[in-house]
Structure 1
Amino acid sequence: MTRRAGQVLLALAVVVGALAGRAPAGGGAATGRAGPDPVDTGRPGAGRSIPYELYTHCGIDEARVGPTYFEAEVPLSDGSGNPPEGWGNPVQRGTMTLTSETEALFTDDAGHEVRFRARPGADAPERVCA
């Protein structure tokens, strides 16, 4: 195999690996609302950050990291079921950091910060975005 072919195969493996950890579009598994699942199924250890697309379409109140559902300590919306002004819609790209087994922190380059707490025993979203 040529070096170029090896590089192409490696790039494809990385893309396929990244996509394999996501639910099909419209699955809403990250927040339980209609929309993409922005979560890599590999859960980071405490203190480790991962790139994360926070689903914001109906406001910001829930996130999923690996198998764990988290709820926002302070839910955010514009009062009409949309993300607050200055947030992306339907997602906001940033970083999710597990600060402990039960707490997570979302941050982004725009300066947004949302703290989440795990919902023990949850195996589904709390609500589905209409």
Structure 2
Amino acid sequence: MTKRAGRTIFALALAVAVLAGCTKAGEDTKPVRATPSGGATPSVRTIPFDLYTHCGIDEARIGSTYFEADPPLSDDSGNPPEGWDNPIQHGTMTLKSATEAVFTDDAGHEVKFRARPGATAFKRLCS
């Protein structure tokens, strides 16, 4: 398998895991973790990411770690804010550390996420 094919399969699997997380609480996927580089400081890692936006930008699951947006974003009616795609916004997730991630996209959006220690499911399921 080529490196590109591996990345494509990984990105698709991650997108499926994120979408499934909004409908099936507790489903687990292989964790994505930053890799230590030269000591205790994890390296920054950026991955393609499809952020589920249908009920606003509130949570994301990266591997088996649940993150929450800081701050959450919505149109105050449970939808993504104006200018966001619905139900998915394509972009990248940069894992700054095991507890910090940042979503960015070509439209200029940026959302910071913080890990929820001990979380095993999303706080709420979007329908």
TM-score tier after normalising by the smaller chain length? 0.7 to 0.9
- Runs of 4 or more, structure 1, over 2 Å off, are 13-26
How far residue 44 of structure 1 moved from its aligned partner, in angstroms, is 4.1
CA contact (8 A) 1:105 1:115 kept: yes
Alignment partner, residue 102 of structure 1: 99
Unpaired runs of at least 5, structure 1 = 1-8
Distance (Å, rounded) in 2 between the aligned partners of 1:22 and 1:86: 21
Q: CA RMSD in A?
A: 2.8
Distance (Å, rounded) in 1 between the aligned partners of 2:54 and 2:90: 13
Change (3 A) 1:41 1:52: farther
TM-score (ref. length: structure 1): 0.74
- Size of the aligned set, in residue pairs, is 114
How far residue 34 of structure 1 moved from its aligned partner, in angstroms, is 3.8
Distance (Å, rounded) in 2 between the aligned partners of 1:52 and 1:34: 18
In the TM superposition, 1:49-64 aligns within 5 A as 49-64=46-61
The one-letter code of the counterpart of 1:65 is I
Unpaired runs of at least 5, structure 2 = 35-42
Identity %: 59
CA contact (8 A) 2:14 2:62 kept: no
SS in 1 for 2:103: strand
How far residue 21 of structure 1 moved from its aligned partner, in angstroms, is 5.1
Change (3 A) 1:101 1:25: closer
Q: If you compute each CA radius of gyration, which structure gives the higher value, 1 or 2?
A: 1
Q: Which has the higher contact order (CA 8 A, sep 6+)?
A: 2
Alignment partner, residue 48 of structure 1: 45
